[in-house]
Amino acid sequence: MSNIALKTAEHSQPNSGLVTISRVLIGAALVILFGYLLIYTAFAVNLIQFPFDYDQGEGFELVDTIMFSQGEWPYQDTDVYPFYSSNYPPLFHLIAAPFVWLFGPAYWYGRLLGFLGTLVTASAIGYAVYREGGHKGIAALSGLAFLASNTVFHIGPLFRQHMTMVMFETLAVVVLAHATDIRDPRRRRLLLIAGLALILCAGYTKQLAYATAAAALIFLFIRSPRTGLLCGIGFAAIFGAIFVFLNYATGGQWWLQTISANVNEFYPDQTIGLYRLWFSLHGFLIVPAVLWVLYELYFGRLSIYTLWFIAAVANAALSGKWGAGDSYFATAIAAACILSGIFAARTLKRTWQFPQNFYARFLVNPLRPLSPIIYSTGLILIPLLYIGYAVATLKMPTQGAVFEPLARILNLTPNADNAFYDSAGRIAGGYADIGHFTTAQDIENGWRIVQRVREAEGDVLSEEAAFNLLAGKPVITNPTQLLNLWLNDQWDSAELVQMIENQDFGLIVLRAQFYPTDVLIAIGNYYQQVESIHMNGFDYLLLAPKTT
């Protein structure tokens, strides 16, 4: 079957002035997005120096890491003291565990790992786009675009495992993209093993990676049914063996805590709002990504990138669950950066190919005489898409020697904590209310809470783990995990409630009050607020036992 190429000998050379303008615009987009990278790096450095929970749950990720470093499972029985368990797979914590041996409990290394993971992901995106499209400028823009996303900016430098999962997913699809095309059997086998191993790593970093696993195995089956079946059987066997071992080694707590506890209530309005937010922030990348998907469906052959994008976008529907949020779109953002980058590079390099099929005869052939005009338009439109994306994802501090004058020029007023501007605002439930820089006052107030915890008699029940860890007191419970289990009728609160009624805790520290309802009722009945300390945009309530 013959192909119609938009790049043919009969096409006249593009206007040199348009080429120059295009290069200038690409340069401008690179400068802007590189500036966003500098802000992102500054944010990461700021968080790495912050010794307390920035996003609720970070402290319990640290506790998981500490337990692994001590040879203990964090998947414990939450019905008995200290009522602690984790709902996440182990790999991220195992990666961070050696840092505990070297440096003791601290937040900085988990945040550093998350930040570095996003840089690896961006590099993999840039590599994939350059390999498929051959345009260095667009490859760089694609990687920078991932780091510029508000979602990635928010969660990248946190002590959380989500972005490490995305890193493994992205590396996996890049490795597998052309594995079946390799003729050398040994190299082909090594690439398949490496790609599937990376997906296995993603799945045991966070459960959400199952969608990427499905997309990859479907891709391998489409390219080679025999290879796809063999890979699927091998992958399932290894994944299942690890799963069974974890469940056996933890006495069934692995299944309860990581699977059963994650079947949470679904809020459709939250999902719809987050899809709207995803498109409003990333629409300049999503539209060309979707156009590339349509191209592959009708004129090319399905790539792993297209299947990955479709699976990731569909999987983001789970963002409506209790405890989920915009982070569930991170994988779809990475996939969109790759597909939009390939679309842009093919346009600028004039390397589109259309087979002479039904769709080409009726849709493409009539446009062939206009290809020079289409190409000239693309020269300007493509870089403008990245500039438009930069405008859509604008976020920055509005105070400081550099940012305050810039904020005045851009007419930005803060819409988040600590004088931070976030283009997303707060338009959707489940959107992470983070991204602002922490201050010296936040750190000072955090140490005030630590001092109150130190001074308290006996155990302290704190909704965040940092205060107990820094005060040298045991961490009691993981409140959101208790709430997950309680909402699924899988937690017996009797012992913890009895301890509260006995006023066994010398102090209780609340922030978001994510404990189960019966625990909160017991706290309200037997404890009273004695102090409120503001830190990092939140009021931390300190409660002492009521006196009769």
Any domain includes 61: no
- 515 vs 399: CA distance, rounded Å: 36
pLDDT given for residue 9 in this prediction: 37
- Bridge-partner residues for 528, per DSSP? 544
pLDDT given for residue 428 in this prediction: 58
Using CB atoms within 10 Å of the CB of residue 369, give its burial: 0 to 12 exposed, 13 to 18 middle, 19+ buried.
Answer: exposed
Dump pLDDT digits (tens) for 63-75: 999 999 999 999 9
Helices 517-526 and 494-501: angle between axes, nearest 10 degrees: 10
Question: Which of 389, 421, 450 is a domain's end point?
Answer: 389
Question: Is-contact 147 167, C-beta < 8 A?
Answer: no
- Enumerate long-range contacts of 418-422, CB under 8 Å, 24 or more apart: 418/442, 418/537, 420/395, 420/396, 421/394, 421/395, 421/396, 421/397, 422/150, 422/395
Strands 459-462 and 505-510: parallel
pLDDT given for residue 109 in this prediction: 97
Question: Is-contact 154 111, C-beta < 8 A?
Answer: no
Residue 437 has pLDDT above 50, yes or no: yes
- Which phi and psi (to 5°) does residue 178 adopt? -125, 15
4 pLDDT band (50/70/90 cuts)?
very low
pLDDT given for residue 205 in this prediction: 97
Ranges 177-191, 361-375, 458-472: which has the least confidence: 361-375
2 pLDDT band (50/70/90 cuts)?
very low
Alpha helices in 316-417 (DSSP H): 330-349, 358-359, 371-392, 403-410
Provide the number of structural domains found in the chain.
Answer: 2
487 and 366 both lie in a single domain: no
Any domain includes 55: no
Q: What percent of the chain shows pLDDT beyond 70?
A: 94
Residue 298 has pLDDT above 90, yes or no: no
Question: Is-contact 507 456, C-beta < 8 A?
Answer: yes
Q: What is the mean pLDDT of the chain?
A: 92
pLDDT given for residue 115 in this prediction: 97
Dump pLDDT digits (tens) for 184-241: 999 999 999 999 999 999 999 999 999 999 999 999 999 999 999 999 999 999 999 9
Dump pLDDT digits (tens) for 487-519: 889 999 999 999 999 999 999 999 989 999 999
Any domain includes 321: yes
Q: What percent of the chain shows pLDDT beyond 90?
A: 78
Residue 7 has pLDDT above 60, yes or no: no
Question: Is-contact 1 356, C-beta < 8 A?
Answer: yes
223 and 285 both lie in a single domain: yes
Residue 539 has pLDDT above 80, yes or no: yes
Q: Which residue has the higher pLDDT, 362 or 331?
A: 331
427 pLDDT band (50/70/90 cuts)?
low
Any domain includes 434: no
pLDDT given for residue 429 in this prediction: 60
- DSSP result, 162-220: HHHHHHHHHHHHHHHTTGGG--SHHHHHHHHHHHHHHHHHHHTT-GGGHHHHHHHHHHH
- 172 vs 179: CA distance, rounded Å: 11
Residue 3 has pLDDT above 70, yes or no: no
157 and 218 both lie in a single domain: yes
376 and 464 both lie in a single domain: no
1 pLDDT band (50/70/90 cuts)?
very low
Using CB atoms within 10 Å of the CB of residue 248, give its burial: 0 to 12 exposed, 13 to 18 middle, 19+ buried.
Answer: exposed
Residue 8 has pLDDT above 50, yes or no: no
Question: Which of 389, 407, 425 is a domain's end point?
Answer: 389
Dump pLDDT digits (tens) for 235-259: 999 999 999 999 999 999 999 999 9
Strands 538-545 and 505-510: antiparallel
Any domain includes 102: no
Any domain includes 97: no
Dump pLDDT digits (tens) for 383-405: 999 999 999 999 999 988 888 99
279 pLDDT band (50/70/90 cuts)?
very high
Ranges 22-26, 331-335, 433-437: which has the least confidence: 433-437
264 pLDDT band (50/70/90 cuts)?
confident
pLDDT given for residue 378 in this prediction: 85
pLDDT given for residue 60 in this prediction: 94
328 and 445 both lie in a single domain: no
Residue 6 has pLDDT above 70, yes or no: no
Question: Which of 350, 365, 389 is a domain's end point?
Answer: 389
Any domain includes 88: no
pLDDT given for residue 471 in this prediction: 96
Residue 13 has pLDDT above 70, yes or no: no
- 33 vs 31: CA distance, rounded Å: 6
pLDDT given for residue 10 in this prediction: 40
354 and 460 both lie in a single domain: no
Q: What is residue 262's DSSP assignment?
A: G
Residue 359 has pLDDT above 50, yes or no: yes
- 47 vs 112: CA distance, rounded Å: 9
Structural domain that includes position 269: 3-50+107-389
Residue 356 has pLDDT above 90, yes or no: no
Dump pLDDT digits (tens) for 85-139: 999 999 999 999 999 999 999 999 999 999 999 999 999 999 999 999 999 999 9
Any domain includes 66: no
212 and 316 both lie in a single domain: yes
222 and 326 both lie in a single domain: yes
